[in-house]
Amino acid sequence: MLKSLAMPKSFRVPITPRIALLCFLVILIVIGAVPGYLRGNWSWSQLPPVVNLKQIRAIRKTGLKLGEWKTLKQETVELGGHKWSFQAIEGDYSKPVLLLLRPQDSSKSQPQVDWADINSTQRWKRDSVKIIKFAVEGSQLSQSVEASKLEKTVTVEARLFRAWTKRQTFAVLQWYAWPEGGHPAPGRWFWADQLAQLHRKRVPWVAVCIQIPIKPLGNLEEFQPLATSLAKIVQNALMRGPLARIQKGESRLGTHTG
């Protein structure tokens, strides 16, 4: 009798590591949220502040300093109702490279349709889409009395593709950057932020879009090393600057103000 009630093999869903991880994250969020809900302190209605929000928002007006890459022009532009930093940079390449950055503008703002906003504005056609991974060594100030710098390595995933219009072809690299890494999918940031909220912390973010002008319908593989190198420089600058957990000048005890 029991055998007749067994689920057919064709309907059995294999438990993959990704599904198991998702279930684990949901359990953690529920465990962290229920006590607060029962006490009337629902964590999602009172989000912890992003302690370095002022520095992050300043990107729109100042852009980002990128070491040997010189800024030729920087201005604030509006795409899809959001304000971005538009930056033309010059370095080890024959043409200026374009850098678009949309910083988080409030504790409640989330990554949304930023890539769609750019695509609709540029009216690109695109192909050769792929995900690339790269490691970045950054530094964050510790909470010790000496506030010594601790080196750490994070892994970032970004979406690389070729985009073109009638006038120009680009190698484009896009991702959301945060202190512990980055990914082009908003969902990856969402889960990282939810886990951080269990400890009354937040995960700040910045949307990054690098546009490298290339010859008409040029081979994307040829420009991947340059795109990866630039991405490392941008992620590193963000981690050491606006996205750093603890900014210079804050209390040695590691306290923060909202």
Q: What is the pLDDT of residues 101-136, one digit of tens each?
A: 999 999 999 998 999 999 989 999 999 999 999 999
* pLDDT tops 90 at residue 45: no
Q: What is the mean pLDDT of residues 181-206?
A: 95
pTM over cut 0.85: no
Let me know: does 159 contact 131? Beta carbons within 8 Å.
Answer: yes
Tell me what pLDDT residue 236 has: 95
Phi, psi of 197 (to 5 degrees): -65, -25
pLDDT of residue 14: 52
pLDDT at 126: 93
Would you call 36 exposed, middle or buried from its count of C-beta atoms within 10 A (0-12, 13-18, 19+)?
A: middle
Section 21-44 average pLDDT: 52
All residues at 6 or more sequence positions from 60 whose CB lies less than 8 Å from its CB, including other chains? 76, 83, 84, 85, 101, 103
**Of 184, 185, 232, 176, whose CA–CA distance to 204 is shortest?**
176
Query: Which residues does 57 contact at the CB level (< 8 Å), separation at least 6?
Result: 103, 104, 105
Model confidence pLDDT, tens digit, residues 195-239: 999 989 999 999 999 999 999 989 999 999 999 999 999 999 999
What pLDDT does 46 receive?
Answer: 75
Specify whether the CB–CB gap between 80 and 207 falls below 8 A. no
Cα–Cα distance for residue pair 98/86, rounded to 1 Å: 7
- The pLDDT assigned to 153 comes to 86
